[in-house]
């Protein structure tokens, strides 16, 4: 049996643990079990499901340090950030347990000659294909509303997150989620194609790359299955003015280095007014040049973590070299470690707008800065992207910032905050950043049968 799911410590390159891929017979058993379990789960009163999902939330809180240790080894996440991720998951599960009944209550419809309502019914079993950058959070925001709706879940996680994926299933079972309602599978790509086509799967939720999104959405479309896609981003981070330029640069740097820059909605393009641009960039360079490598146990803000894998580090390093070849200036950083998966924090300026590399997403600790001379120029640059996930605008003149932010072609626009995010706020994008929404009330609107129920007088 092949052993393709591996936990490899990105700080050292050491293979820590391996997990056997699922066989075709085992996969068939998973789908059969999910179909039966989902029907029984859906028959439970929502209040009963809420009690169980509340217990899921409690377990994420109780086991936060253990969960953090797992992903620290798996993908290099700083311990404090990983603990925060686990506790954020608890908030998400609790939010849907507390609010699902309100979000899914019958909606009366004006229907002369009878009584009509729109109901919210489960649709079946949902396949979740999840990424490695936020191993618990990505699953929580997809799983929690679907569990409360009465859907079942089959989880196919990233190959490097095999242990955390298994632990999530353990937590569900410990909380009282019936066997078969939430199942983790160590499946290969050809098996996933078969799962999508299977009549027992009602929909697919994917968070990942553009390439993966295109492939999965094509397969889902062929099988007439709904898909929700949360893909890449190249979020603009516009600074129109500041009375403390260095402090503004420090906030931009801290935001970009969160999770070692491996966040879809990170500030990938920092757009700064030219009257403070050089001072702003100089501060970014100072911060980046003082950074040193370490592992997930370090809480020193000047210590940076490895990327999730050696392959991720090599891909990012190649992008840096291609940016330089295109005419960009590497102000500092841009080095890859001989061992492990470290790329030093890198500040890049002068990437030619319109070049191939300009349109790519840098998924790692790379700060790309652009000068502009007007609000209109900032907006034009911000919207010159194939992505449309998030974007933010900073100004001490709030009305000015709002006017610019309101015209961002994104799914999530913010003013005077690096990025607005909470369990009660919708998450999702436009353009090549995907479609569909997670979190907030609309997180329950995706994999649901909005059924008309009509009774004639």
For tokens 């029907």, what's the residue?
39
Asked if 279 is an active-site residue, the reply is no
Dist. CA 196–CA 60, nearest whole Å? 29
Active site residue 89: no
CA angle, 81 as apex, 77 and 84 as ends, to 5°?
A: 135
Structure tokens at 14: 């050491």
List the catalytic residue out of 85, 159, 230, 423.
230
Query: 264, 361, 423, 438: which one is catalytic?
Result: 264
Integer Cα distance of 275 and 378 in angstroms: 13
Between CA 99 and CA 116 the distance in angstroms is 23
Q: Which residue's structure tokens are 């070299």? A: 321
CA distances from 188 to 9, 21, 49, 138, 194 (A): 21, 7, 31, 20, 10
Contact in structure between 189 and 158 (CB atoms under 8 Å): no
What is the DSSP code string of 69-128? Answer: HHHHHHH---HHHHHHHHHHHHHHHHHHHHHHHHHTS-EEE--TTEEEEEEEEE-SEEEE
C-beta pairs of 48-53 under 8 Å, 24+ apart in sequence: 49/97, 49/100, 49/147, 49/148, 49/150, 50/97, 50/98, 50/100, 50/101, 50/148, 51/97, 51/176, 52/175, 52/176, 52/177, 53/93, 53/94, 53/96, 53/97, 53/144, 53/147, 53/148, 53/175
Beta strands in 157-225 (DSSP E): 182-184, 201-207
Q: Could you tell me the CA-to-CA distances from 399 to 396, 402, 415 in Å, in that order?
A: 9, 5, 10
DSSP string, 325-392: HTT-EEEE---B-SSTT-B--EEEE-PPTTSTGGGS---SSEEEEEEESSHHHHHHHHT-SSEESEEE
List the catalytic residues.
230, 264
């Amino acid at each position: 049996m092949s052993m393709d799911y591996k936990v490899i410590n990105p700080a050292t390159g050491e293979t820590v643990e391996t997990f056997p891929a699922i066989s075709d017979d085992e996969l068939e058993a998973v789908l059969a079990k999910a179909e039966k379990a989902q029907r029984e789960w859906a028959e439970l009163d929502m209040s009963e499901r809420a009690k169980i999902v509340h217990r899921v939330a409690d377990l994420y809180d109780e086991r936060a340090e253990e969960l953090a240790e797992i992903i620290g080894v798996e993908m290099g996440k700083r311990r404090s950030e990983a603990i925060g991720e686990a506790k954020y998951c608890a908030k998400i599960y609790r939010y849907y347990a507390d609010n699902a009944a309100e979000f899914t209550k019958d909606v009366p419809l004006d229907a002369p000659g009878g009584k009509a309502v729109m109901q919210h019914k489960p649709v079946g079993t949902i396949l979740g294909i999840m990424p490695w950058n936020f191993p618990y959070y990505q699953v929580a925001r997809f799983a929690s509303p679907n569990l409360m709706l009465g859907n079942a879940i089959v989880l196919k996680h990233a190959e490097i997150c095999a242990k955390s994926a298994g632990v999530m299933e353990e937590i569900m079972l410990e909380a009282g989620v019936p066997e078969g309602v939430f199942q983790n599978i160590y499946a290969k790509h050809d098996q996933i194609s078969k799962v999508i086509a299977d009549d027992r799967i009602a929909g697919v939720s994917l968070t990942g790359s553009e390439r993966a999104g295109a492939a999965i959405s094509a397969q889902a479309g062929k099988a007439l299955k709904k898909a929700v896609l949360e893909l890449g981003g190249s979020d603009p981070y516009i600074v129109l003015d500041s009375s403390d330029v260095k402090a503004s640069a420090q906030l931009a740097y801290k935001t970009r280095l969160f999770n070692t820059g491996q966040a879809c909605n990170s500030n990938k393009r920092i757009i700064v007014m030219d009257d403070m641009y050089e001072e702003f960039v100089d501060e970014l360079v100072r911060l980046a040049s003082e950074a040193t490598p370490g592992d997930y146990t370090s809480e020193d803000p000047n210590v940076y973590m490895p990327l999730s894998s050696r392959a991720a580090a090599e891909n990012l390093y190649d992008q840096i070299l291609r940016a330089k070849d295109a005419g960009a200036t590497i102000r500092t950083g841009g080095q890859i470690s001989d061992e492990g998966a470290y790329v030093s924090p890198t500040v890049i300026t002068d990437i030619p707008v319109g070049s191939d590399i300009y349109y790519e997403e840098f998924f790692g600790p790379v700060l790309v800065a652009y000068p502009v001379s007007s609000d209109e120029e900032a907006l034009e640059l911000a919207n010159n992207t194939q992505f449309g996930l998030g974007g933010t605008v900073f100004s001490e003149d709030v009305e000015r910032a709002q006017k610019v932010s309101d015209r961002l072609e994104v799914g999530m626009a913010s003013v005077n905050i690096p990025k607005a995010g909470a369990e009660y706020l919708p998450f999702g994008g436009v353009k090549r950043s995907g479609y569909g929404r997670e979190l907030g009330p609309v997180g329950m609107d995706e994999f649901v049968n909005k059924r008309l129920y009509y009774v004639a007088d």
